[in-house]
Structure 1
Amino acid sequence: MPVAGYKLHLIFRLIILYSFAIPASSYVMELGPVNKLVRCPGLYCGRELFSNGSWSNCGACPRGYRTNASSACIKCNDSPKFYDWLYLGFMALLAFVLHWFFIDTTSKRRSFCKEVLVLHFSALFEVITAAVLTLLMTDPMGSLAVQSCQTEKLSDWYTLLHNPKPNYDKTLHCTQEAVYPLYTMVFIFYALCVVLMLVVRPWLAHFLPKHGRMSIYAALYFFPTLAVIHAVFGGLIYYSFPYIVIILSVISNAAHFAYKLDQSMRFLIVSTVTDIRNVVIILGHWLLHAYGIIAITELKDPVFHSALIALVPLPAVFYILTARFTDPNKLHAD
């Protein structure tokens, strides 16, 4: 290569390296305190405004704050949307339904009795009290109203996975509750449910048979499980819970009928109408199914979407009408 060509090639490479090096070094310096707001790297890194008008280092915003498009930490003053309230209601219903399921399972009774009803009402009291206390403990304290940050996308639930690494050097930790307070409210609710259960239920267990204590042990297992599931899959559940409710209500409805030995249409109808326990179970399935429809539609078109609730009994009716076609005794191997 000629000397002149080699010098031009070297100068060209130095210009490229210099043009990339200057922004990189200045970008690192701008991560620290600044007098004028400068955007931070990453989706959730922000700066706090000091009293003297300067801005802090890039980092996680305080609890109850969220970064905006300019990387300034702003206080969450929004109110939860209708869908957010439905999500919180789903998490409360999940704990309530599991309570009733394990009370009914451990009692090993085919009909309601006084002892089982006492446990059911105790679980209802515990869940309602825990939900009210959770709302009172959430900002603003002492009020049933809630100040929140609006959920915009799935990554808002998993800020831990979006900590940037400027210049491929050190990781900038900006993990925060971008969906404040939907994430922590559920943990507080679960903790209060456990505390209230341990306060109320053992006192009742002195007056109840052994199965009253077994429901306590079951709850001590499923509440930690629910907490772990929420910690890992909270965002996925937030966006999919309406479909989860509908699918599980249909499957549970079919399982309830399938446990009956007599699968004739007449017996299924008569047992459903005459047995109080079956009536309560079927109504519970219908209410959950209606809840799922409301969560999916959000009643944006009140007239049409309210009419969809009339379809709630359809899975039960479909099972009763088609049960005789799926009777294993009528299947013959050729």
Structure 2
Amino acid sequence: MDPLHPTMNHHNLTSTVERKFVQLQYLGTLTLCPGYCGRIATPDNLLSECMACPRGTRASQKNSLCEPCQDFLTPYAWMYLAFMAALPLIFHLTVIDMIFRKWRRKSYVILQLSALLEAAASAVITMAFFRKDDQFRMRFCGADRLADWYSVFHNPKPDYIHTLNCSQEVVYPLYSVVFVYYFLSLLLMLICRGVSAKWSWNGMARNALLGGLYQYPVLLAVHAGCAGLLYFIFPYVTIIAASVTSAMHCSLIKKQTLWEILKGLFSSIHSVIVVVAHWILLGFGVLAIYYKDSVVDILKIAPSVLAPLIIYLVTFRLTDPKKYYDHFE
């Protein structure tokens, strides 16, 4: 008999199934499922064999029953999704900035706004797909270990010969939601920028469109293979990347004196936006590591976003290549 989907009469069968499980376990006829395998309820109030839990459920550690995900996303999980959603947006904005900023001001502004609109629309539609109530809240199964992201590598062999295939999205929906977001971002980018390029611009607009297309295979491959690793290290990746790019932005100023650097950083709207964006990214990374519910505690760590800029201003004289030319001649 086909197993019953966990969302159908699950709550009506839960108590009966758990009592049945306790009885069978007490009699020694039923054991806990190995690995990430679980059991689901059948229409006749019996339990299935150990198998992969259906999407949106996870095997309970106490009785191996596949239970629906009930926990709301934690602030850290939300930050991880924000990090993954920001990757294509940052790339889009960077490519548009490199191509259009000095070429055509109107096109530059329109394309930047288009990229922001695409990202916002993709996020809202993705949330609508995965929401569990009218407040756009998502429930997830938790992600406690790196192995939770790679259940395909943890299929058990109860008899040491045959593999029991229990591959599933243990961390639902943290894995699938990113794929949906990237697909919607790609679709909206093709629609919005394709129409805009046809109406307003010549071949230069194709560079921005093609640059955006190139990133998605890379992002999808990185997420498919490294999602679990990124989940645990993304705050540090954000801090390192923002610090390095902040130093690069300062180093592009021609005259490397304290006054000229400060003048170059804050003398134009574009440069101010870049500096503030680096501060936001740094604050985001620090907050993901030291998240506190108290506003006072958050304000205490806020000044840390200035650290990379201050370090550069203090040490740039020591890293001027001209000071070391004599040692290599």
> How would you bin the TM-score normalised by the shorter chain?
0.7 to 0.9
Cross-structure match for 1:128: 120
Given candidates 183, 188, 199, the residue that maps to 2:175 is: 183
SS in 2 for 1:168: coil
Question: Offset of 1:256 from its aligned partner?
Answer: 1.1
User: Pairwise mapping of residues 187-202 of structure 1 onto structure 2 (< 5 A)?
Assistant: 187-202=179-194
Cross-structure match for 1:168: 160
Cross-structure match for 1:87: 80
Task: Say if 1:194 and 1:223, in contact at 8 Å, map to a contact too.
Answer: yes
Cross-structure match for 2:260: 267
Cross-structure match for 1:239: 232
TM normalised by structure 2 equals: 0.86
Q: Distance in 1 between matches of 2:262 and 2:103?
A: 17
Question: Offset of 1:147 from its aligned partner?
Answer: 1.8
Return the letter of the residue paired with 1:226.
Answer: L
Specify every segment of 5 or more residues in structure 2 that has no aligned partner in the other structure, as ranges: 1-20
Cross-structure match for 1:327: 320
CA shift in 2, pair 1:281/1:111, >3 Å = farther
Return the letter of the residue paired with 2:188.
Answer: L
Return the letter of the residue paired with 2:214.
Answer: Y
Specify every segment of 5 or more residues in structure 1 that has no aligned partner in the other structure, as ranges: 1-33
Q: How many residues align?
A: 300
Task: Say if 2:287 and 2:298, in contact at 8 Å, map to a contact too.
Answer: yes
Task: Say if 2:39 and 2:66, in contact at 8 Å, map to a contact too.
Answer: yes
Question: Offset of 1:52 from its aligned partner?
Answer: 1.4
CA shift in 2, pair 1:247/1:112, >3 Å = farther
- Aligned identity (percent) is 34
SS in 2 for 1:42: coil
Q: Distance in 2 between matches of 1:209 and 1:252?
A: 31
Q: Distance in 2 between matches of 1:200 and 1:234?
A: 28
Task: Say if 1:46 and 1:60, in contact at 8 Å, map to a contact too.
Answer: yes
User: Pairwise mapping of residues 30-69 of structure 1 onto structure 2 (< 5 A)?
Assistant: 36=24, 38-69=30-61
The answer to which of 232-241 and 149-158 deviates more is 149-158
Question: Offset of 1:74 from its aligned partner?
Answer: 0.7
Question: Offset of 1:286 from its aligned partner?
Answer: 0.4
SS in 1 for 2:280: helix
Larger Cα Rg: Structure 1 or Structure 2?
Answer: 1
- Measured on the aligned residues, the alpha-carbon RMSD in Å equals 1.9
* 1:219-245 Cα distance to aligned partner (Å, 9 max, x none): 111112111101101010001101110
Question: Offset of 1:141 from its aligned partner?
Answer: 7.2
Cross-structure match for 1:11: none
* 1:66-96 Cα distance to aligned partner (Å, 9 max, x none): 0011211111121111111111111111121
Question: Offset of 1:322 from its aligned partner?
Answer: 2.4
Question: Offset of 1:142 from its aligned partner?
Answer: 6.6
Return the letter of the residue paired with 1:176.
Answer: Q
Question: Offset of 1:314 from its aligned partner?
Answer: 2.1
Task: Say if 1:138 and 1:185, in contact at 8 Å, map to a contact too.
Answer: yes
Cross-structure match for 2:211: 218
SS in 2 for 1:171: coil
The answer to which of 177-186 and 35-44 deviates more is 35-44
Return the letter of the residue paired with 1:277.
Answer: H
Task: Say if 1:205 and 1:212, in contact at 8 Å, map to a contact too.
Answer: yes
Q: Distance in 1 between matches of 2:94 and 2:202?
A: 18
Corresponding position: 1:306 with 2:299: yes
Task: Say if 2:131 and 2:138, in contact at 8 Å, map to a contact too.
Answer: yes
Q: Distance in 2 between matches of 1:148 and 1:36?
A: 30
Task: Say if 2:52 and 2:168, in contact at 8 Å, map to a contact too.
Answer: yes
Q: Distance in 2 between matches of 1:112 and 1:295?
A: 38
Q: Distance in 1 between matches of 2:49 and 2:141?
A: 22
Q: Distance in 1 between matches of 2:104 and 2:87?
A: 22
Cross-structure match for 2:8: none
TM normalised by structure 1 equals: 0.85
Q: Distance in 2 between matches of 1:138 and 1:331?
A: 57
Cross-structure match for 1:291: 284
